[in-house]
Structure 1
Amino acid sequence: MPTRTLSTPTRIVLTGFMGAGKSTVGSMLAGRLGWRFVDVDDAIVQKAGTPIAEIFAKYGEFVFRRMETSAIAHALGERDAVIALGGGAVEVLANRLLLEQTPRTTVVFLDADLPVLLARCQAQTEGVERPNLQAAEERFRYRAPLYKRVARVRIATADQNVEQTVSALLQQLGLHGVS
């Protein structure tokens, strides 16, 4: 593992729209760094004991977003962690402030065009519930500037596989010497 400097992050947070690869890239990146991987959506499901869709259906988005903010705050307390946010986390001001104000945290925007992201979502076989196309387009237009605003690093992923994305990210962060 490389020697740390004051500018070396102790946590890397991945943000982007659904289909950006936050969980897949995050898991591989954490493995390459020898760090812990935290998927905020998974943390919420584990704590609530119920799927996210059910949280939304029973309690609404407001309750889910409060749970999400709590999970993000907890994850940001970790050192040597790669954290994957849910696609809508950036919509909440408290979440953006947590990301901006937590020292030695680098937020990375995994960026691709909406048609690429939607194709990736359709290719997933887990049966993940996704919004309809019109809702996805509206959310994408609203969130894209927020992803750009909160992220210090942007990685274009449309023409890269997961390994290429992880390598590009490590290089951009100056961590390319990590095995």
Structure 2
Amino acid sequence: MTAAACEPDEYAPAGAGMRPGSQLAHLVGPGGAGKTTVGALLAGRLGWDFIDLDQAFLAQHGHIATFIDTQGYEAYARHNVALYARIRRALRRPGVAALSSGFMTYPAAIGGGYAEHRAAIEAAAHTVLLLPSLDVERCVDVLVARQLSRPYLDGDRGQHERRVRERMPAFLALRCARHVGTEAPQCIATAAKARTTATKSSVTGHRFLVKSRSSAF
């Protein structure tokens, strides 16, 4: 991987900034997009804490697929929102949070302040949506292969494919920064760090759409 391959091709304005004083950057997107890997790298480079919401859920409630099978998806979503809220309230240092793949697609009716949390995350300048492509079928191919390699998720390929297709419209509708591409996580983290640093020192209210070159992930 050359240094040039880590550089984004294009930047474009994309919406409003986060509230002054906010200390939590969010990585959002479908499962397999690289949120956990990139998030850990980004947090390390910034000297911030790293929060993996899926791992926090596993620590408190056990295997995610088993929880959903026994208690239902809505119960899982409610518990996950409550867990996020507790983590957010307890935050004392700047952090990078890798959110669960479905977090930005839950129905507003699950309550627990979810609609407010979702709106704040979407509006924050340090929120980045990670996608391997803007093409749905390309996303299906890349993301499902990654998801099936994870031991804490079920291995139903058809279910994972349906989930990606169902959620993509919601992800594409998000008005937050995007990083689109399949380059190495180190390159994505480099771009995210540059954006985070630039946002902290620039006028609030600007974001960037990043269209990236593709390479092995």
Give yes or no for TM over 0.5: yes
Structure 1 counterpart of 2:36, which letter? S
Partner of 2:75: 63
Q: Does 1:114 align with 2:127?
A: no
Distance 1:68 1:55 in 2: 11
1:20–1:117: 8 Å Cα contact kept in structure 2? yes
Match 1:43 to one of 49, 52, 56: 56
Match 1:141 to one of 145, 165, 170: 165
Distance 1:32 1:175 in 2: 15
1:100–1:150: 8 Å Cα contact kept in structure 2? no
SS at match of 1:170: helix
Q: Which has the larger radius of gyration?
A: 2
Q: Does 1:25 align with 2:29?
A: no
Match 1:75 to one of 63, 82, 87: 87
Distance 2:125 2:192 in 1: 14
Structure 2 counterpart of 1:97, which letter? E
Alpha-carbon spacing, 1:27–1:151, altered in 2? closer, same or farther (3 Å): farther
Alpha-carbon offset, residue 27 of structure 1: 0.9
Alpha-carbon offset, residue 157 of structure 1: 3.2
Alignment size in residue pairs:
169
Alpha-carbon offset, residue 105 of structure 1: 6.2
**Is 64-73 or 54-63 further displaced after alignment?**
54-63
2:46–2:193: 8 Å Cα contact kept in structure 1? no
Structure 2 counterpart of 1:111, which letter? L
SS at match of 1:86: coil
Alpha-carbon offset, residue 139 of structure 1: 1.6
The Cα RMSD (Å) is: 2.7
Unpaired segments of 5 or more residues in structure 1?
1-5
Distance 2:116 2:179 in 1: 22
Unpaired segments of 5 or more residues in structure 2?
1-18, 133-138, 200-217
1:96–1:150: 8 Å Cα contact kept in structure 2? no
Structure 1 counterpart of 2:158, which letter? Q
Match 1:99 to one of 108, 115, 118: 118
Q: TM-score, normalised by structure 2?
A: 0.67
2:64–2:152: 8 Å Cα contact kept in structure 1? no
SS at match of 2:33: coil
Deviations, residues 16-68 of structure 1 (Å, cap 9, x unaligned)? 111111111111111111111111111112222x2112211221112111111
Q: TM-score, normalised by structure 1?
A: 0.79
Identity fraction in percent: 26
Alpha-carbon offset, residue 170 of structure 1: 1.6
1:114–1:140: 8 Å Cα contact kept in structure 2? yes
Structure 2 counterpart of 1:68, which letter? N
Partner of 1:3: none
